[in-house]
Amino acid sequence: MKQLVFSIVGIETYPDQLEPANQDAAIWRFINMAKFRDLMGTSELYFCRADLFPDEREGLPPEQYLATFGLHPLDVNDRRELLNHLGSDAQFREGFYVNCWYLFREETLQMWKEYGNEGVAIISSYQLLKSALNTIPDRAYIGLVRYGAKHMIGKRVNLFRYITTKRIKYAHEREVRGFLLIPDPHAGINRHYDADNRVHPLPLTPPPPHVLKGHRRKVDLQALLNGLDNIDVRHEVQRALWPDIVIDGAIGDFMCQVSRHPWPDDIACLICLFQRPAGRPAEEMQSDATGLSKDRLLEPESLITEADVDAAPREKQQELRSRIGQAVCSVVQEAMAQTISLEQQEKGFEPSVPFVACFSACMVLTEALAYLCGWDTKLEPRFQFDFLRGPAFGLELPQARSENCICGRRKNIDRIRAKRGL
């Protein structure tokens, strides 16, 4: 009897792997509309072969690093050995397939122009991407790209250092690189030699046709592309982007809602529509929940130290001591999540029924499709209904801009949009 055994290798580590201190750090992927439709339709991430990127030095050793080999470029034998290094590495990189993301710090016009022109930015987190790659049945890796060659000086030759290093001029990309290693044993490694046995720095012929230009791998998009049902995040998205249109979904226990916020129509923006409840300042609540001082909260990427434990109230010291070495931002997130959970339990909180969230997501995607296709919509700006009664009893809720909202400052917002090319 024949048996088939399927195994998932899972994420692997590699030399000098660099990861963000906060594994929940936001990452963006800028793509055009054709690639976005493909992603939504197939639930597949595309990994491009490393030698096909616009950067001709992709996956090759930096010139500053090559200078440390002790090979003189004007010596015939040294020159031949140097070219052989480059030519061999250029063929080895054909076994790497790459999927690129941006470690978010701020939105930049340069990234939109280079990678998302007339497209979209999809948002996830480093940990979610790492988890998605962990289910792929290939040798999969993830980490931050390093820029320049200082980190390589004095270290041994290694292909993983090459594939995760780029020149300084690309530092603005802040790349999070997910990649697969799928070498083909029949691709050949001497294609950089010509008929006269002269060596060249690049292969003289492309790899055989059976070596694919890219690989597709199916992932759980619902897990990878999570929405953020959060008032502060909604406000930040509106302030930072001011796009042509924002389509938002919201849910309650059995209530679901979709809202549409086009610019420059006289329709409430996300800041108008979602108001923070009155209460204590966020930094006070975070300080009480964690035991960290307000000054330490201003350094979200720094790590918890013994000094933080000593400075904390006695009742918080044991918990903080167990968090030594973790990023301040992750400690704050955990503490606030626990605080909110306890508060909701005291109020008798009941989570939304799963199909309510699914239906709200369907309404959001329907409105997005209508906008992309140029179809009319009745949303001005939102529609909501209770699932216990059904959509036939839903309400259309018109809402104009608030007089006190910043969306009334049209000239300033138009300047922001003009800088982004909108």
Domain ranges of the chain: 26-224, 231-276+351-419, 282-339
Closest CA to 48 of 179, 139, 173: 179
pTM for this prediction = 0.58
- 276-324 confidence digits (pLDDT tens): 666 666 677 888 888 898 888 777 667 889 889 999 998 889 888 888 8
DSSP state of 253: S
Spell out the CATH class of 231-276+351-419. Answer: alpha beta
**Can you tell me the distance from the alpha carbon of 267 to that of 417, in angstroms, rounded to the nearest whole number?**
17
What beta strand segments (E) does 149-244 contain? 165-166, 175-181, 214-218
How many other C-beta atoms are found inside a 10 Å radius of the C-beta of residue 304? Answer: 22
In this model, does residue 7 exceed pLDDT 70? no
Closest CA to 43 of 222, 218, 214: 218
- 8-41 confidence digits (pLDDT tens): 456 899 999 999 988 888 899 988 878 887 887 7
- 149-202 confidence digits (pLDDT tens): 988 888 888 999 999 999 999 999 999 999 999 999 888 788 999 999 999 999
Q: What dihedral do alpha carbons 225, 228, 233, 234 form, nearest 10°?
A: 100
Q: Is 65 exposed, middle or buried (0-12, 13-18, 19+ CB in 10 A)?
A: buried
